[in-house]
C-alpha cells in the first residue's frame, strides 16, 4: 500500500501503466538458474524461449530440464505414469531455444536475464534487448547481488524493469524475491508478483539493496566459513557437518558454495567489495579466488571445494 501511494505521488496511475499478463517468457542464459526457471515456467503452462550462446549449451540445458522433470514426475505422478509422461512431453514442448537474444525478445511478455553476474555484461545485454522488445514487455534480472537500478539504467523502460530472484535448485526452492526500484511501476511489480505465484512460488517483496534479503545474510555466512577454514580453524568437512547437524541446514557452507558456483560467489563478493571496500564481511578471500582462477567453479565444473562425478 505504501509502495502504491508512493507511485501515485510520482504520477503513475492504472490508466497510464498497464498490467501485463505474462504468457510468453524469454529467458537469457540457460545455465543452472535459467534452465531451472525455464522448467518451472513451462511446467506451469507458459511458453518459454531459452537463449544461450551456443547450440551445445542449449542442448545441455534441455537435457538438464528433462532430467529434473523426470524427478518431479516420479514424485508427482507416482501412481499415474501415463499422465506423468504426458506432463513431461507437454512441458518440454513449451520450451524452444535460440542463440539470438534480440530475435527471441521480439515477441514476448517478459525477458528474464540469468547470465553471468557482471554489471557491464548485463547492461549491454539489456541495452540491446530494449531496442528489440515490444513496448509492453517487462524486463527482469535474476541477479544475486547487483543493484537492479544499475542494470536497468542501460534501458529506456525503467518503469517496466524489476528484479525476480529465484533460488537454486529452482524446481525445489519455493522462494522468489521480487525487487522494485524507485522507478518500477506498481503494475510491473504486480505482474512480477503474479508471475511468481503462477510458478507455484512464494514471493517476498524486496528493496533494491545489495543481496536483497537472502544473499545479504547467506553470502557473508558462506564467506565466513571459508575464512574460518583458511585460518586453519576447521576442516571443510567438519564445518559442513557442524552446520548441518548443529544448525539444521540442509547443506554445509562448502557444499552450498559449490552448489551455487564459486564463480558466482566470488562475483557477488567482488561487486560488494567495490561498493564497500572497508566492510570486512565482503573482504576478498584468497582461497576462493584461487579456486576460481583454476576453473574449479563447484558442482557445475566437477570440482570446487569438493570433487563431483
Would you state the cell numbers that stand for residue 245, as one nine-digit string?
547437524
Distance CA 128, CA 51 (A): 14
Nearer to ligand NAD, 177 or 187 (CB): 177
Annotation marks residue 106 as catalytic: no
Distance CA 309, CA 13 (A): 54
Nearer to ligand NAD, 49 or 264 (CB): 264
Would you state the cell numbers that stand for residue 21, as one nine-digit string?
499478463
Q: Give bridge partners of residue 178 from the DSSP assignment.
A: 164, 205
Nearest to 164 by CA among 180, 149, 153, 184: 180
Nearest residue to the partner ligand NAD, using Cβ: 31
Do residues 166 and 185 make contact, with C-beta atoms less than 8 angstroms apart?
no
Distance CA 299, CA 262 (A): 9
As measured in angstroms, the least distance from the Cβ of 103 to ligand CAA is 28
Binders in 124-163 for ligand CAA, by CB under 6 A:
144
Nearest to 178 by CA among 149, 153, 142: 142
Nearer to ligand CAA, 132 or 256 (CB): 256
Nearest residue to the partner ligand CAA, using Cβ: 144
Would you state the cell numbers that stand for residue 171, as one nine-digit string?
524446481
Q: Which part of the chain contacts ligand CAA (CB under 6 A), choosing from 8-16, 84-92, 232-240, 256-264?
A: 256-264
Chain residues binding ligand NAD by CB under 6 A are: 28-34, 51-53, 57, 101, 114-117, 125, 142-144, 166-168, 260-261, 264, 300
Nearer to ligand CAA, 64 or 190 (CB): 64
As measured in angstroms, the least distance from the Cβ of 54 to ligand CAA is 22
Distance CA 210, CA 204 (A): 16
Size of the site for ligand CAA (CB under 6 A): 18
* Identified catalytic residue from 165, 191, 196, 255: 165
As measured in angstroms, the least distance from the Cβ of 249 to ligand NAD is 15
Annotation marks residue 215 as catalytic: yes
Nearer to ligand NAD, 84 or 211 (CB): 211
Annotation marks residue 168 as catalytic: no
Query: Beta-strand (E) ranges in the chain?
Result: 24-28, 47-51, 95-98, 110-113, 138-141, 161-165, 175-179, 202-206
Residues that bind ligand CAA (CB under 6 A): 68, 71-72, 75, 144, 167-169, 171-173, 215, 218, 250-251, 256, 260, 264
Residues with a known catalytic role = 144, 165, 177, 215
Amino acid at each position: 500500500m505504501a509502495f502504491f501511494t508512493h507511485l501515485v505521488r510520482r504520477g503513475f496511475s492504472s490508466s497510464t501503466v498497464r498490467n501485463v499478463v505474462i504468457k510468453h517468457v524469454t529467458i537469457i542464459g540457460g545455465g543452472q538458474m535459467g534452465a531451472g526457471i525455464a522448467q518451472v515456467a513451462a511446467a506451469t503452462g507458459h511458453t518459454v524461449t531459452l537463449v544461450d550462446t551456443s547450440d551445445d549449451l542449449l542442448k545441455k540445458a534441455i537435457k538438464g530440464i528433462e532430467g529434473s522433470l523426470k524427478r518431479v514426475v516420479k514424485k508427482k505422478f507416482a501412481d499415474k505414469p501415463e499422465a506423468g509422461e504426458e506432463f513431461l512431453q507437454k512441458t518440454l514442448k513449451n520450451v524452444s531455444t535460440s542463440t539470438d537474444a534480440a530475435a527471441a525478445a521480439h515477441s514476448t511478455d517478459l525477458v528474464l536475464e540469468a547470465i553471468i553476474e557482471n554489471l557491464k555484461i548485463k547492461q549491454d545485454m539489456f541495452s540491446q534487448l530494449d531496442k528489440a522488445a515490444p513496448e509492453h514487455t517487462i524486463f527482469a534480472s535474476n541477479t544475486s547481488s547487483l543493484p537492479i537500478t544499475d542494470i536497468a539504467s542501460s534501458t529506456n523502460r525503467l518503469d517496466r524493469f524489476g528484479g525476480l530472484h529465484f533460488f537454486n535448485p529452482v524446481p525445489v526452492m519455493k522462494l522468489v524475491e521480487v525487487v522494485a526500484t524507485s522507478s518500477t511501476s506498481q503494475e510491473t511489480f504486480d505482474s512480477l508478483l503474479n508471475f511468481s505465484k503462477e510458478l507455484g512460488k512464494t514471493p517476498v517483496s524486496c528493496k533494491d539493496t545489495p543481496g536483497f534479503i537472502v544473499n545479504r545474510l547467506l553470502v557473508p555466512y558462506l564467506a565466513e566459513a571459508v575464512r574460518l577454514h583458511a585460518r586453519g580453524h576447521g576442516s571443510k568437512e567438519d564445518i559442513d557437518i557442524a552446520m548441518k547437524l548443529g544448525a539444521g541446514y540442509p547443506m554445509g557452507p562448502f557444499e552450498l558454495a559449490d552448489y551455487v558456483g564459486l564463480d558466482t560467489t566470488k562475483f557477488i563478493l567482488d561487486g560488494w567489495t567495490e561498493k564497500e571496500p572497508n566492510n570486512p564481511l565482503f573482504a576478498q578471500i584468497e582461497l576462493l579466488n584461487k579456486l576460481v582462477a583454476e576453473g574449479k567453479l563447484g558442482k557445475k565444473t566437477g570440482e570446487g571445494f569438493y570433487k563431483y562425478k
